[in-house]
Amino acid sequence: MAKYYLAVDIGASSGRHMLASIENGKIVLEEMYRFKNQLVEKNGHLCWEIDRLFQEILNGIKACGKAGKIPYSMGIDTWGVDFVLLDKDDRILGDTVAYRDSRTEGMDKKVSEIVSEEELYARTGIQKQSFNTIYQLMAVKEQNPEYLDQAESWLMLPSYFKFLLTGQKKIEYTNASTTGLLNAKTRTWDMELIRELGLKESLFGEIFMPGTEVGNFTPEIQAEVGFDCKVILPATHDTGSAVLSVPMENGEGIYISSGTWSLMGVENKTPICTEESREENLTNEGGVDYRYRYLRNIMGLWIIQSIKRNLEDKYSFNDLERMARENSGFASRVDVNDARFMAPKNMIDAIQSYCRDTGQKVPESIGEVMQCAYASLAKCYAQSAGSIEKILCRKYDCIRIVGGGCQDGYLNELTARATGKTVYAGPVEATALGNVLAQLMADGTVADVEEARSFIRASFPIKKIEP
């Protein structure tokens, strides 16, 4: 009888329950359940529907039971930085505000009055992003200090969902590393920084590594879903899971975890917290086996997804890609990481305004808008690869793209041309696979990171695109 491992992978626009088993030495994935995720406006803020998301997690678990495929273990991963504050009765304080919300405007200046940006980077190694947890917590302190006064627990979202399943509160390393509150060198909370910010030290508990067992379903959850299951911590930051499944050998090469965000970087054994690295806006996020994901956050397919929504989903992604190809000569480019693209009311308007403000030809047709978006992403990838190579004083000859974005053939082609590097695309379900690999490592089926990646190479086709 097959042994099943369930990966619950929740992204900014959708979530999925992927069930894995091993057949003839290869990982086989089966999608059991999929659901939408989206931001909602609540009390003047962009928020996550946290209760609905947990119900969707339960729905997917039930789908496994209904199919007669009971998982031996399961893990949950999500995006980073976002969190909940819980009171003494484990009730959420306030709304679960999302990282794209504007509440953090000006919070970087508040933090820099306490600790300079240079010192903060030297200690945490985390690139400055307006949505980092450190700025979100400063926003709570400024706007709703009563929440911090009443808070007895602080949990990032995947840890909160696991708490609801098991009754156990465990903070996981890769997600904790995205907060801007973790010391990059000691891999523990920077308690001096936390004190300087006026936050309660008691909120920041022990940090656990991927592969740690959280516990089993509570009796209430067992009664609802119809079975028991062991809950494991994967790399709960989705990029941490995705990078674990990048099919590179000996940790070598540049990767892009391509989804709503494009996370482009390399894997290091030690953090790089130099001033030169800070100026290049590169970050040192935690990975499995205490490896460092040295990368840059790039706005990614959020831009393409937003354009599709602005067009009321009249066109498929294939349609939009075709229209971009038909306008390959359109030359205007945008900085995809410009703040105006974070959460615009209309992405097409934002692209047009950027081109207008920078004296470039304004894209008018859908094809021109799409070509501008695609080519701008590829240009950013090339610039980011150059920054990484400059800091590390070495050249790489290929880029490995994993995640849903690796299916975008036109973007892969543009990336190969812009960087002059061979692109290897696949696997698609990288995050779910990384989630599963951590579970396989937890139960001893897979020995280490290298064996985990060899499993990926043996199990899934990889497409090669020459520059």
Distance, CA of 279 to CA of 118 (rounded, Å)? 9
HEC string for 133-166: HHHHHHHHHHHCHHHHHHCCEEEEHHHHHHHHHH
* Rg of the chain taking only CA atoms, in angstroms: 21
Burial 179-197 (b: 16+ CB within 10 A, else e): bbbbbbeebebbeebbeeb
Q: What residues does 384 pair with on adjacent strands?
A: none
Q: Is 238 a catalytic residue?
A: yes
Q: Determine which one of 95, 108, 238, 289 is catalytic.
A: 238
Q: Which two tokens stand for residue 81?
A: 């930085």
Neighbours of 355 (CB within 10 A): 19
Neighbours of 53 (CB within 10 A): 18
- Give the 3-state secondary structure percentages of the chain, helix then strand then coil, rounded to 5: 40, 20, 35
> Are the CB atoms for 222 and 157 separated by under 8 Å?
no
| Residue 198 structure tokens | 């006026």
Burial class (CB in 10 A: 0-12, 13-18, 19+), 336: buried
Tokens of 60: 């997917």
User: DSSP for 60-101?
Assistant: HHHHHHHTT--EEEEEEEB-SS-EEEE-TTSPBPS--B-TTS
Task: List the beta bridge partners of residue 18.
Answer: 7, 31
Distances (CA, A) of 42 to 53, 86, 95, 274, 287: 16, 19, 8, 40, 34
Active site residues: 238
